[in-house]
Amino acid sequence: MYCTECGEKLEGRFCMNCGTPIQLADRLRVLMANKYFAIGAIGMIALIIGIVILAASGFGSTPESTAKAFYAAMVKGDFHRYVKTIDPEFRSSLGEESGLWEMQTRLMLEAARNEWKQGYYSIQVLYSIRKGDTAEVVVLISSTVDSGGEVTLNLVKRGTKWYIDPNWW
């Protein structure tokens, strides 16, 4: 809201530049605008905090979404995304062998990425079975260069997130 006399931005009951009193209707508009701005700002802050909390808690992690993320990382040869899908307890149990596991995993991902580049592959979750904190996800892998097939992934739930369980391989 701006002063009708001098054009300065209005705050309060009088124009700070020329002293013109602000009419009641204009004051109410300024107050309402400030009120809606404050409510909007508080709402945005609450929304951002909610999203951060949900993301940190693993909200939305399902066996199916983990299986899809696992294969997406393989297709791209993305080691870091791949590792995020693997059971952290398995990774921590590797101890001194973790360097060897990382090297073998990187080589496997590079080979998988090169193979997947050869043809169009699609991943389709056929079904999943949950048993408490474990799950089996059956995935159909289709390809333009070979017949593909079904693969069963075993998963384990840690906290609120699902992970691929390499102990079943």
| Whether residue 59 has pLDDT greater than 60 | no
**Can you tell me which residue has the tokens 């075993």?**
154
CA angle 127–54–81, rounded 5-degree value: 60
- List the domain boundaries for the chain: 1-56, 63-168
Give whole-number Cα distances, 158 to 34, 116, 144, 168, in Å.
Answer: 46, 30, 36, 16
> At the topology level of CATH, where does 63-168 sit?
Nuclear Transport Factor 2; Chain: A, (3.10.450)
44-53 confidence digits (pLDDT tens): 777 777 666 6
Distance CA 149, CA 122 (A): 11
Quote the percentage of the chain above a pLDDT of 70: 80
Least confident of 32-41, 80-89, 97-106: 32-41
85-118 confidence digits (pLDDT tens): 999 999 999 988 999 999 999 998 988 888 777 6
